[in-house]
Amino acid sequence: MEEKDLINQLESIQFDEIELHGHKTLLRTALLKRYAAEVGDSTSNKNILQRIKEGITLKKLLRQPAFAGIMVVLLIITSMVAFSYFLGQHEKALAAEIARNSIEVAEALEGEEISGIKIIAITDNLATVKVEGVEGGSIIVKVNLLERVMRQIIIGELTSEEVEKITNILNGESDILEIINQGAVISGLHVYKVVMPENNAEKEPLEKRVQVTIILETRKYDADIEIISGEVLWFGEVGSPGWFERHIW
C-alpha cells in the first residue's frame, strides 16, 4: 500500500460517536455526590425560586441611575487591568521565545527537546523562566526583556541542611507520608525559584522553592515546597515515570 493511500484510508474513517447514556448518567451522579460530600457545596442545591430571585435583583439594580456611574468607573478599571494583562502576556511570550531559541538553553539541556516553558516571574524587565525538557530535565533561566538576551542560567543547588529540611517537610505532610510509607522514592529535587532581597545578593533568600519528584511504582508525583517557610505549596500526581513531563495543573 502506498503512503498516500494509507493516509486517504485513515482520513476516510468516519467514526459515529458512541455514547453510553446510562454510564454517563450514573457516573455524573456518583461524581457530583462525591463533590458534594467533599466540599459541602451549597450552590448546586439552590432551587429555582432562589435563582429567579437573584435574576430580579440584578434587573432592579441595572435600572438604578447611580449604577451607570459605577459602570463607567468599572469600565475604566477593567480597561486598565486589560491593558496591564495584555502587556504582561506580551512580556511572557517574549521571554518564552528568547528562552526557546537560546543556544545556551539548548546546551544546558544537553540536546533534550523542550517540552514546556513556564514564566515564573517578571520583575524590572528581567524574566525568570523555567524551561522543561521532554526527558524530565529542567533549568531556570533569566531573560533580559529590554536587551532581548539571556542573562544567566541557574541550575538550582541545595545544601545538605536544605535537603534534610525538605525531608522533614515531606514527612510532615500526611498525603506525602502515606505514599512514602507505601514505598515511594524521591527521584529528583530541583530549585525552581529563588527570591533574593532587593539590592543585596549577599543576604539569605526570602523564598526558595523546590520541586520534588516522587515515584511510587508506575505513578509519578510532584511536590512544590517552599523551604524557607516550610510550606508544601502543591502536591499531586502528574503521570507515570518515563512519560514526558505533563503538568496538568
**Contacts to other proteins by CB under 8 A:** 1, 3, 6-7, 9-13, 15-32, 34-36, 39, 41, 43-44, 113-116, 118, 134, 218, 234, 236-237, 239-240, 243-249
Distance separating alpha carbons of residues 217 and 236, to the nearest angstrom: 15
Cβ atoms within 10 A of the Cβ of 143, count? Answer: 26
CB of 153 to other proteins, least distance (A): 21
Residue matched to cell numbers 468607573: 73
CB of 142 to other proteins, least distance (A): 20
CB of 115 to other proteins, least distance (A): 6
Residue with Cβ nearer other proteins (53 or 247):
247
Contacts of 224 (CB under 8 A, 6+ apart): 192, 209, 210, 211, 212, 232, 233, 234, 235
Distance separating alpha carbons of residues 11 and 3, to the nearest angstrom: 12
8 Å CB contact between 142 and 154: yes
CB of 207 to other proteins, least distance (A): 19
- Our measurement of the distance from residue 21's CA atom to the centroid of its chain's CA atoms, rounded to an integer in Å, reads 33
Residue with Cβ nearer other proteins (23 or 63):
23
- Which residue type sits at 229? S
Residue with Cβ nearer other proteins (180 or 216):
216
CB of 32 to other proteins, least distance (A): 5
